[in-house]
Amino acid sequence: MTERITGIFNILATPFDEQRQVDVASLRHLVNFQLDKGVYGLTILGVLGEAAKLSVDERRLVLETVMETAAGRVPVVVGTSHPDLPTCIALSQAAFAAGAAGVMIAPPPLKNPADEDIIALYSRVAEATTGAIVVQDFPPVNGVIMSPAMLAALAARVPAARYLKLEDPPLMEKISAVRQHTDQFQIFGGLGGMFLLEELQRGAAGTMTGFAFSEVLVAVYEAFRAGDQARAASLFDRYLPLIRYENQPVINLTLRKKLLHRRGAIATPLLRPPFTPVDAATDDEMERLLHRCGITDPAQKLVFSSPEDFIQAGSREPWIQD
């Protein structure tokens, strides 16, 4: 299944109920919601999944629920990062036992780690497991900088590490720098999809991100893969204001859950503390942006028949008529 780790993977949110417990029913609904939007795979227990706020038992509950609901329809990558390496290994083993296509691991916060320390961490996980490893390069989470040369050495020494989720700006320059050192990685972008088009142009295999309108990213990716860069750019540019606004630092998870709730994907938009709420003016700005992008009913799936035609699912009327 590892060869299927390509294209648009949605980073799945973890829904909570009014008591801020994992909402299993909403989680099942969210899996089906994202599959309906055409995603190529799911990535669970990432930053949007608030994995750091979940107990080990809750992480296993999310894993089991998603794997059972997805039922092999798409590959699932499971975030198993943990400050304690034995726990990371145990979570990774559980993920592969449940049928995961891969595990996504970022190094824990380390003070001035040597390259050998990071490679050793991934080597230990690889020795204890039998599946693909997605190396998560996201310094804002752990403060760890992984150079292109170190990543190339990692790919050479740990054959299981063949996927790189790269979110260390400047993104496109680092994609090219990694490519200059090694061709062993399939590289995925992130950061809300803000640079999806440029990432693809630099050789990325896709993206793993939590943007609430996954069908937009799927449409851009498929146009690009079909060789129609003009169409890909037209679709991307149309929704870029919304992509940019949704991925604001500090409040991006709050906004994403609000939009998923608006779309009917989850029962509540609640996050677990700590999180940053948004004010009424931000809600108003988001509403204006939805209309600016032609989204009059967020609950409806966006359908694209041409770059100029944005159609609401179930309707024959275009969203925007020029």
Tens-digit pLDDT profile for residues 71-100: 999 999 999 999 999 999 999 999 999 999
pLDDT score recorded for residue 310: 57
Locate 261 and state its tokens.
């709730």
Q: What is the 3-state secondary structure (H, E, C) of 257-309?
A: HHHHHHCCCCCCCCCCCCCCCCCHHHHHHHHHHHHHCCCCCCCCCEEEEECCE
Q: Give first-to-last CA distance, the chain, whole Å.
A: 44
Q: Residue 278: which pLDDT band, with cuts at 50, 70 and 90? A: very high
Tens digit of pLDDT for each residue in 201-218? Answer: 999 999 999 999 999 999
Instruction: Say whether pLDDT at 319 is over 50.
Output: no
Instruction: Say whether pLDDT at 317 is over 70.
Output: no
Rounded to the nearest integer, the mean pLDDT of the chain is 93
Instruction: Say whether pLDDT at 1 is over 80.
Output: no
pLDDT score recorded for residue 313: 53
Q: Residue 305: which pLDDT band, with cuts at 50, 70 and 90? A: confident
- Backbone phi, then psi, for 306, in 5-degree steps? -160, 165
Cβ neighbors of 297 (< 8 A, separation 6 or more) are 312
CB 178 within 8 A of CB 187: yes
**H or E stretch covering 194:** none
SS3 190: coil
Instruction: Say whether pLDDT at 321 is over 60.
Output: no
Cβ neighbors of 130 (< 8 A, separation 6 or more) are 96
> Domains plus CATH for the chain?
2-287 (3.20.20.70)
Instruction: Say whether pLDDT at 322 is over 60.
Output: no
For range 185-210, the mean pLDDT: 97
The residue among 322 and 51 whose pLDDT is bigger is: 51
Return the closest-CA partner of residue 223 out of 196, 183, 243, 191: 196
pLDDT score recorded for residue 308: 58
For range 284-310, the mean pLDDT: 87
For range 32-43, the mean pLDDT: 98
The residue among 111 and 60 whose pLDDT is bigger is: 60
Question: Can you tell me which residue has the tokens 């055409």?
Answer: 38
Handedness of CA 115, 121, 127, 132 (dihedral sign): negative
CB 255 within 8 A of CB 286: yes
pLDDT score recorded for residue 141: 85
Instruction: Say whether pLDDT at 237 is over 80.
Output: yes
